[in-house]
Amino acid sequence: MKILSRVLIGATLASAMGVAQAQDPTAPVLKEEAGRIADNQKSQQQVNKVHQKTTDLVTEYQTKLKIVDGLKVYNTLLQRQLDAQDRQVNTLKSSIANATVIKRQMVPLMMRMLDGLEEFIDLDVPFLLAEREERVANLRALMERADLTVAEKSRRVFEAYQIENDYGRTLEAYKGKLNLEDRSYDVDYLRIGRIALLYRSVGNDRFGHWDVADKRWVETNQSQFKRNVDKGLKVARQEMAPELFTVPVPPAAEVRP
């Protein structure tokens, strides 16, 4: 009985639902709409995926464009550097070519400079003759050395000229030999630039100066001259404070440059 009752109840419910569906005309429409919504959702998901891929590709493309722009700027800079290097290479090639010409001209010029320096020393006031003549001789020997560049040789020659130039504005006391009347004396020399060269024998018994006009040594016994020579020697050796003292000098027209 219980089983039969359950079968009857199920059949009744099915009949009721079938009747309900038959009575609701919107059910198929709603079912169809639900299907379209599901399809639209799937389509939207696909569209979202495509959109995301498109966005990623656009972003990647913009990034690549920035890299390309940077490379263009870098390549432009490199090209400018290469152009500058090409100009430098051309300048160096021209300088090397000119250096060869200058080198050929510099050596004869330096030899003429040494000839002029030697002649100048011979005509100049005769101070430190051995040292100055030795300097010129060493420079002539230096000109023949193959291990020195032309630049170094020219530097040495100009240095010798500078030394000679400095003599004209310095005060100096030094010892040396002096031949007078076929005798050699040990003397103290006092050089005042190039305008005066005086001497005092070591025993303080002979004093004199170089006469520029006559090109000879002139001896003097004047006490005032002796005092001034003694004072000048002390000033040159920094044994006393600088002060004025009188010495014989040639007329302005006779002073050599």
Alpha-carbon span 154 to 240, nearest angstrom: 40
At residue 11 the predicted structure's pLDDT band, cuts being 50, 70 and 90, is very low
Amino acid at 169: R
pLDDT (0 to 100) of residue 254: 47
Q: 4-18, 28-42, 219-233 — which is least confidently predicted?
A: 4-18
pTM higher than 0.85:
no
Domain boundaries, the chain: 88-167, 171-257
Q: Which of 136, 186, 130 is nearest to 159 (CA)?
A: 136
pLDDT at 65: 87
Band (pLDDT 50/70/90 cuts) for residue 118 is very high
Mean pLDDT of the 134-156 span: 92
CA distance 12 to 5: 10
**Nearest one of 99, 72, 247 to 173, comparing CA atoms:** 247
Band the pLDDT of 12: cuts 50, 70, 90. Answer: low
Tell me what the mean pLDDT of segment 62-81 comes to: 89
Q: How far is the C-alpha of 211 from the C-alpha of 227, rounded, in Å? A: 19
Q: Could you report the per-residue pLDDT of 87-116, keeping only the tens digit for each?
A: 988 888 887 777 777 778 888 999 999 999
Measuring CA to CA, which residue among 256, 19, 225 is closest to residue 120? Answer: 256
DSSP H helices in 124-255: 129-143, 150-167, 223-236
Whether residue 130 has pLDDT greater than 90: yes
